[in-house]
Amino acid sequence: MPPVFPERSLDDPALAPARRAIDVVLKGHEPFPALAIDRHWTLITANAAVAPLLSGVADVTLIEPPVNVLRLSLHANGLAPHIFNLPEWRAHLLERLRQQITATGDAVLSDLHREISAYAAPTAHKPSSPNRDFAGIAVPLELIIDGARLSFISTTTIFGTPVDITLAELAIESLFPADQATAEALKEMAAVVRDS
């Protein structure tokens, strides 16, 4: 018996309307970063605001397709050295991944959890700024980019009525500035990219 919902690549012509909708959401979130990922945290696509945040990645193989967002975030040659509150952010991502494994039993995610858990843990805790308290509903991501500290909160969007497995397993991660300084810095980065 065929599956109730088909599974196709997002590049499949039948999913072109869904792909356009995803692109509209990502573009509409600019100048703030947003990306689409699959169930294994593989980057599907991202808006233009993501690229400047990756400029300090030491190992370019981490940003060559297929890009795993968790690996990129927590690897010592990825974004990890640029995450000001790395212990807090690392714990948040590992817990989120653990919950996903518990819910799905996915062996690929279990392997990913083992891999990134084995990355060297940060030795010193750099807590978030006191004015970054979100009452437990969000863990901020604080990045140091070109000497500036950018603070984000993230939301995850999923399709409510998917008609395809590909869409059911797709999430859009949107980063919002957690403070006015970050909002202004992102607008300036977008202007530089636009003018170059």
Mean pLDDT calculated for residue range 118-126 = 73
pLDDT at 4: 41
Among residues 21, 80, 41, 6, which one has the least CA distance to residue 171? 41
Residue 163 has what pLDDT?
Answer: 58
pLDDT in tens, 48-107: 999 999 999 999 999 999 999 999 999 999 999 999 999 999 999 999 999 999 999 999
Q: How many CB atoms lie within 10 A of CB 87?
A: 15
What are the b/e assignments for 177-189, b being 16+ CB within 10 Å?
A: bbbeebbebbeeb
Q: How far is CA 141 from CA 13, 19, 124, 166, in A?
A: 36, 27, 17, 28
170, 10 contact by CB (below 8 A): yes
Q: Report the pLDDT value the prediction gives residue 21, as an integer from 0 to 100.
A: 86
* Token code pair at residue 52: 């400047």
Query: What architecture (CATH level 2) is domain 19-181?
Result: 2-Layer Sandwich (3.30)
Across residues 123-141, what is the average pLDDT? 61
For residue 171, pLDDT beyond 70: yes
Domain ranges of the chain: 19-181
Read off the tokens for 188.
Answer: 């300036």
**In Å, how far from its chain's centre is CA 50?**
9
How far apart CA 178 and CA 139 sit, in angstroms, is: 10
In the chain, the percentage of residues whose pLDDT exceeds 70 is 80
Q: What is the pLDDT of residues 19-58, one digit of tens each?
A: 888 899 999 999 999 999 999 999 999 999 999 999 999 9
pLDDT band at residue 194, thresholds of 50, 70 and 90? confident
C-alpha distances in Å from residue 189, one per residue of 22, 72, 73, 193, 194: 23, 21, 20, 6, 9
- How, if at all, do strands 43-46 and 34-37 pair? antiparallel
